[in-house]
């Protein structure tokens, strides 16, 4: 069962909502419902907390794994590329990457 909720928006913001909804092929009501559900999603909150923690420790990760290390890149000569990466030039990971 759905409930009706009334909210007040200034005209400029309402116009922006209408434009965004139209661009996404949906209604203002559906857009507001989707964004609200996403904002209240507990998994999203946990993910964002993890992102914040990672960002707080970014200097450690760069120091530990190298500034040029990234997805699909080796951390450097003689260092494993990480889980799931196959061995190759400059990558000492085993054939399974584990």
Per-residue pLDDT tens listing for the chain (98 residues): 889 999 999 999 999 999 999 999 999 999 999 999 888 888 888 888 888 888 888 888 888 888 765 555 554 555 554 444 444 444 444 444 43
Residues 6+ apart with CB under 8 A from 83: 97, 98
pTM over cut 0.75: no
d(C-alpha 79, C-alpha 81), whole Å: 6
Domain tally for the chain? 1
Residue 85 located in a structural domain: no
Residues 6+ apart with CB under 8 A from 66: 75, 76, 79
Residue 73 located in a structural domain: no
Residue 72 located in a structural domain: no
Residue 71 located in a structural domain: no
Range of the domain at 48: 11-65
d(C-alpha 68, C-alpha 79), whole Å: 12
Residue 28 located in a structural domain: yes
């Amino acid at each position: 069962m759905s409930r009706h909720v009334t909210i007040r928006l200034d005209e400029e913001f309402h116009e922006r909502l209408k434009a965004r909804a139209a661009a996404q092929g949906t209604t203002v009501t559906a857009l507001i419902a989707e964004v609200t559900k996403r904002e209240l999603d507990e998994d999203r909150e946990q993910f964002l907390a993890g992102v914040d923690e990672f960002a707080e420790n970014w200097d450690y990760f760069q120091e530990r794994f190298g500034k040029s290390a990234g997805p699909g890149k080796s951390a450097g000569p003689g260092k494993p590329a990480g889980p799931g990466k196959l061995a190759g030039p400059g990558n000492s990971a085993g054939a399974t990457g584990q």
